[in-house]
Amino acid sequence: MKRALVTGAAGFLGSHLCDKLLANDIAVIGMDNLITGAMSNLAHLEENPNFSFVHHDVCEFIDIAEDLDYILHFASPASPIDYLKIPIQTLKVGALGTHNALGLARAKNARILVASTSEIYGDPLVHPQTEDYFGNVNTIGPRGVYDEAKRYLESITMAYHRYHGVDTRIVRIFNTYGPRMRLNDGRVIPAFMGQALRGEDLTVFGDGSQTRSFCFVEDEIEGIYRLLMSEYHLPVNIGNPDEISILDFAKEIIDLTRTDQKIVFKPLPKNDPLQRKPDITKAKEILDWKPNIGRKEGMQRTFAYFKSLTKEELKKVEHRDFTFFKT
Among all residues, which ones are annotated catalytic? 146
What element of type H or E holds 256? helix 246-257
Q: How many CB atoms lie within 10 A of CB 241?
A: 17
Q: What is the sign of the dihedral through the CA atoms of 257, 183, 113 and 92?
A: positive
Give me the pLDDT at residue 318, please. 64
pLDDT computed for residue 274 by the predictor = 85
Domain residue spans in the chain? 2-177+215-238
Answer for the pair 119, 162: CB distance below 8 angstroms, yes or no.
no
Cβ atoms of 12 and 74 within 8 Å: the answer is: no
- Which pTM was predicted? 0.95
3-state SS class at 231: coil
Whether omega before 142 lies within 30 degrees of 0, making that bond cis, reads no
Give the pLDDT confidence score for residue 326 in this predicted structure: 62
Residue by residue, pLDDT tens for the chain (327 residues) are 999 999 999 999 999 999 999 999 999 999 999 999 999 999 999 999 999 999 999 999 999 999 999 999 999 999 888 988 999 999 999 999 999 999 999 999 999 999 999 999 998 999 999 999 999 989 998 889 999 999 999 999 999 999 999 999 999 999 999 999 998 888 899 999 989 888 899 999 999 999 999 999 999 999 999 999 999 999 999 999 999 999 999 999 988 888 788 899 999 877 678 889 999 999 999 999 999 999 999 999 999 999 998 877 777 766 677 776 665
Q: Measured between alpha carbons, how far is 43 from 17 in angstroms, rounded to an integer? A: 14
Handedness of CA 195, 199, 204, 205 (dihedral sign): negative
- At 258 the pLDDT is 86
**pLDDT of res. 81:** 86
Query: Residue 327: its pLDDT value, please?
Result: 59
pLDDT at 214: 96
CATH tag, 2-177+215-238? 3.40.50.720
Give 201-254 pLDDT, tens digit per residue. 999 999 999 999 999 999 999 999 999 999 999 999 999 999 999 999 999 998
Q: 241 vs 173, 275, 292, 300, CA distance in Å?
A: 12, 12, 11, 19
Taking alpha carbons only, the member of 143, 195, 183 closest to residue 319 is: 183
Task: Encode 67-105: b = buried (16+ Cβ within 10 Å), e = exposed.
Answer: ebebbbbbbbbbbbbbbbbbbebbbbbbbebbbbbbebb
What is the rounded distance in angstroms from the CA atom of residue 326 to the CA atom of residue 32?
15
First to last CA, the chain: 38
CB atoms near residue 247 (< 10 Å): 17
